Each structure stands twice: as C-alpha cells, then as structure tokens.
Amino acid sequence: MHLEAALEALPDKPEETADATLRALWQLAAGRHVSARRAIGEPLPALNAEARARLRDLVLERLAGRPLAHLTERQSFMGFEMLAGPEALIPRQETELLAGAAIELLRGIADGSGQPLVVDVCTGSGNLAAVLALSVPRARVFGSDLSVEAVALAQRNIAQLGVERQVTLLVGDLLAPFDAGAFQGQVDLLTCNPPYISTRRMAEMPTEIMGYEPAAAFDGGPLGVRILQQLIRGAPRLLRPGGWLAFEVGLGQGPGIERRLRSSGDYGQVQRVLDREGQVRALQAQRRP
C-alpha cells in the first residue's frame, strides 16, 4: 500500500490529507507543534539525521492508528490553534457549522444586551466556548463537562487563547452545574456538541477513534439521542424568554429532533444549519417569550 493511501483521512477529519499529515509530522519532527491545517501553509524546515529518524517514527505511529492531533497536540478550529489530547474529543470541522451559526446568534444578542450570558455544555476541549468568547468579547461564557480531564484540557485552551477572565469552566453532568438561581431563566445562548452516536454503532467505529478518544464523548445511548432529549427538556429552565438553544446533531437525526423541538411547546423559532450536502448538522431553537 502506498503511503498516501495509508494516510487517507477519515470522513470526519477531511483536512488530514496525506500531504497535510506529512507536513504536520515533519514540523513535529523539527520540534514545532502545528495542526494539519496550519501545516499546509508553513515552509518545511531542513531535518538533520536525528529529526529524520523521528519523522519515520511519527509516521509509523500515525499508520498504527494514533490520531494526528494527539501526536501534534494541536487541532485547528475556526482558524484558531487548539490544544488537543486524549482527555477530550478532537474538535471536528463539522462542528464549525454549529460554531459559525452560534457566533452569529451571539453577535445579534450582543447588539441588544450589555453582557450576554452564554453556557456551553459538553464543552470537551473548550473549543466552542473559546471561539464564542473570542468572537464576542463582551459575553460571559460558562463551559462545563462531566469529565474532570476534559475540563483541565479546556482550561489550558482558555489560558492559551487569553480568555481566562471571560470564560469560567465547571465540572458536572450536562445542565446540573447550572442549577443555581444565577442561571435560571437568565441564559441568552446555550450551546452543546453532545454525544450522538448510538451505543451499537460505536462498536463499528474505527480504532483511530474508539481506541484513543473518550467513549463518553460519542455515546448517545441506544438510539443516539438520549443526551439530545435531555438537553431539549432541560434547556428552557435556563434560557431567558427569547434566549436561544443551539446544538449539533448526527447525520439523519435532524428531522426527528426538529419535530421534537417544535412539538415541545417550549420553543418558537426553530432553524436548521445545513452542511454542503444539505444535511441538517445543527439546530437552533428560541425559547418562547
């Protein structure tokens, strides 16, 4: 098998072409940590014999299934270099659809609010919380995750991107960290990239994913929608009247989840976020006034 074919990217990481992967590993062998996206635009430094041997070892690790982002410890998200590791889900390009839509919502909210209150649950590496804070510096952003390890990684990302004063991170299960009165009916925007893979399907996922990334970041229960349903039921108690819920969904889940939102009685407007193939990949719902 040719090296290029062996390094073919998984569908959920299309930016990891063979060329981008080799460039990122080349940079790592030279002592520089860059994501696949960043590596494409960087000149390749000369490698001495020791660095060339290191590059060979890195290529073998990648061929054995270790995720590129775990090797480089970097992943690009919305144009920002994020720290990545086995503590949390590696940010995916598809989640940028949710991020872009949420940023537009938040900017609109900020035009009419002095200091918007944002909550990001299932925050993982903190990628969504960080870009929301960076995009709307007036916003107060709270992120949470059930995993202590994920929150620790998120805290490192928040520090690296310089938004520590703007973003507060908590540990807890979904909406539980926000049961305090300070959040009840006060949140302008609630975002979530939840686990939405069915437990059965997880056994069929590539080793590169299930062998290295935390299973809890994928497992959405028997039908893949357990967390989504909990989110839809629980969000209204946090959202202010007119506040927005925005979350990612798996392929094929969009129409059913949209019907659930519309039939709940808690939400007025419901908006779809589509990918290039016209598939629903995120939903936005506004709490009724």
Instruction: Identify the structural domains of the chain with CATH numbers, from first to last.
Output: 3-72 (no CATH), 95-287 (3.40.50.150)
Tally of CB atoms within 10 A around 181: 7
* Per-residue pLDDT, 1: 43
Residue pLDDT, tens place only, 180-236: 888 999 999 999 999 999 998 988 888 899 999 999 999 999 989 999 999 999 999
**CA distance linking residue 39 with residue 86, whole number of Å:** 21
Tokens 């073998």 label which residue? 60
**CA distance linking residue 204 with residue 17, whole number of Å:** 23
Q: At what angle do helices 49-63 and 18-29 cross, to 10 degrees?
A: 140
- What's the DSSP call for residue 43? P
What SS3 class is residue 46?
Answer: coil
pLDDT exceeds cutoff 70 at 6:
no
Tally of CB atoms within 10 A around 160: 15
* Per-residue pLDDT, 203: 85
**CA distance linking residue 83 with residue 157, whole number of Å:** 6
**CA distance linking residue 260 with residue 138, whole number of Å:** 33
289 confidence band (pLDDT: 50, 70, 90): confident
**CA distance linking residue 120 with residue 262, whole number of Å:** 22
**CA distance linking residue 180 with residue 54, whole number of Å:** 51
Q: How much is the mean pLDDT over the chain?
A: 94
- What's the DSSP call for residue 235? G
CA atoms within 13 A on the CB side of 98: 29
% residues pLDDT > 90 (the chain): 89
% residues pLDDT > 70 (the chain): 97
Q: Which of the pair, 10 or 227, is modelled with greater confidence?
A: 227
Residue pLDDT, tens place only, 229-270: 999 999 999 999 999 999 999 999 999 999 999 999 999 999
How big is the chain by its Cα radius of gyration, in Å? 20
| Residues 6 or more apart whose Cβ sits within 8 Å of residue 276 | none
**Cα–Cα nearest to 171, from 122, 220, 130, 215:** 122
pTM, full prediction: 0.94
38-56 burial: b if 16+ Cβ within 10 Å, else e:
bbeeeeeeeeeeebeebbe
- How many residues does the structure list for the chain? 289
**CA distance linking residue 261 with residue 185, whole number of Å:** 18
Q: Which pair of tokens denotes residue 98?
A: 């949710």
